[in-house]
Amino acid sequence: MAARWICRARHVMVVTGAGMSTESNLPDFRSKDGWWRNIDPVTVATVEALEKQYELFHAFYQARLEALYEAEPHQGHNILAKWEEVGVVSGIATQNVDGLHTAAGSEQVHELHGSIHSIRCYSCGQEAELHAFHEGRGCDSCDGKLRPGVVLFGEMLPQKAWDEALKQIEQADVVLVIGTSLEVYPANQLPWMTRGRTVYMNMELNADASAFDAVITGKAKEVLTKLDKKLELYCANN
């Protein structure tokens, strides 16, 4: 059914979360193998932690950056990039900060929670090199605390990424929501801002699942691979 909707759609928009990247060996937050079992990341990925518990904040992002060195896009990322290239997908709004959609070749990627790859000073905003962050150094200009360019809990989303994602969601005939618990506001509102069909593809179901037009339970890579095969079948015959 989802494949048929996609074939007939003029605009398909994709919303992804951390579950999109677990098969690239990057833990998500809320699954049983999620980040830091003993520490709730929601208490570390905050402005308060940056200001008052910098050592903990730094260690958390250091660990996440180190995990990224080995990470590569998987077949699911590649399929989404291919769908954009052939005109099936118009854009991806992602909560992920890992850059894997772009690495796979997707171009219309709206990073709602920023990127972990860019480092800047929390005090004066000056950009810094990644290795300065790894070494735990302060800002070259003002000795302020260095931080990654991610959106921390308590911070605003980047306006441009949000506006562009929203515009594409409003135009979409189909919205595919992949690998997110839908717990983080305001990104979790995006699926409800479309007049198109909504499809939820996630490993486990949550309370919001019943509000989607279709639900596919499974791992992102496997579900996208199967859907890609179905598209080849249905789109050729439609």
Catalytic-labelled residue, pool 11, 77, 113, 134: 113
User: Please, which residues have CB within 8 angstroms of residue 96's CB and are 6 or more apart in sequence?
Assistant: 16, 17, 18, 20, 21, 111, 113
Q: Which of 23, 213 has the CB closer to ligand NAD?
A: 23
How many CA atoms lie less than 13 Å away from 173 in the CB half-sphere?
Answer: 12
Residues 71-110 touching ligand NAD, rule: CB under 6 A, are 95-98
- The reply on whether position 61 binds ligand NAD by CB under 6 A is no
- The reply on whether position 197 binds ligand NAD by CB under 6 A is no
Q: Which of 97, 166 has the CB closer to ligand NAD?
A: 97
Out of 40, 107, 204, 232, the residue judged to bind ligand NAD by CB under 6 A: 204
Q: How far apart are the C-alpha atoms of 17 and 37, rounded to whole Å?
A: 19
Only one of the segments 7-15, 30-38, 55-63, 169-177 lies at the binding site for ligand NAD (rule: CB under 6 A); that segment is 30-38
Q: How far apart are the C-alpha atoms of 143 and 132, rounded to whole Å?
A: 11
Binding mask 158-187 for ligand NAD (x = CB under 6 A): ---------------------xxx-xx---
- The reply on whether position 198 binds ligand NAD by CB under 6 A is no
* Least separation in angstroms between CB 116 and ligand NAD: 7
- The reply on whether position 199 binds ligand NAD by CB under 6 A is no
Q: Is the peptide bond before 186 cis (omega within 30 degrees of 0)?
A: yes
Only one of the segments 6-14, 27-35, 54-62, 192-200 lies at the binding site for ligand NAD (rule: CB under 6 A); that segment is 27-35
The answer to whether residue 113 is catalytic is yes
Q: How far apart are the C-alpha atoms of 218 and 44, rounded to whole Å?
A: 29
Out of 22, 78, 106, 168, the residue judged to bind ligand NAD by CB under 6 A: 22
Q: How far apart are the C-alpha atoms of 153 and 104, rounded to whole Å?
A: 27
* Least separation in angstroms between CB 31 and ligand NAD: 5
Give how far Cα 216 sits from Cα of 21, 108, 169, 210, 219, Å: 17, 24, 20, 11, 9
Sign of the CA dihedral running 175, 181, 187, 191: positive
Q: How many residues does the chain have?
A: 238
Contacts 24+ apart (CB under 8 A), 47-51: 47/152, 47/153, 47/154, 47/155, 48/154, 49/152, 50/122, 50/145, 50/147, 50/152
Out of 17, 73, 91, 148, the residue judged to bind ligand NAD by CB under 6 A: 17
* Least separation in angstroms between CB 141 and ligand NAD: 28
Catalytic residues: 113
Residues engaged in binding ligand NAD (CB under 6 A): 17-19, 21-23, 26, 28-31, 34, 95-98, 113, 179-181, 183-184, 202-204, 219-220
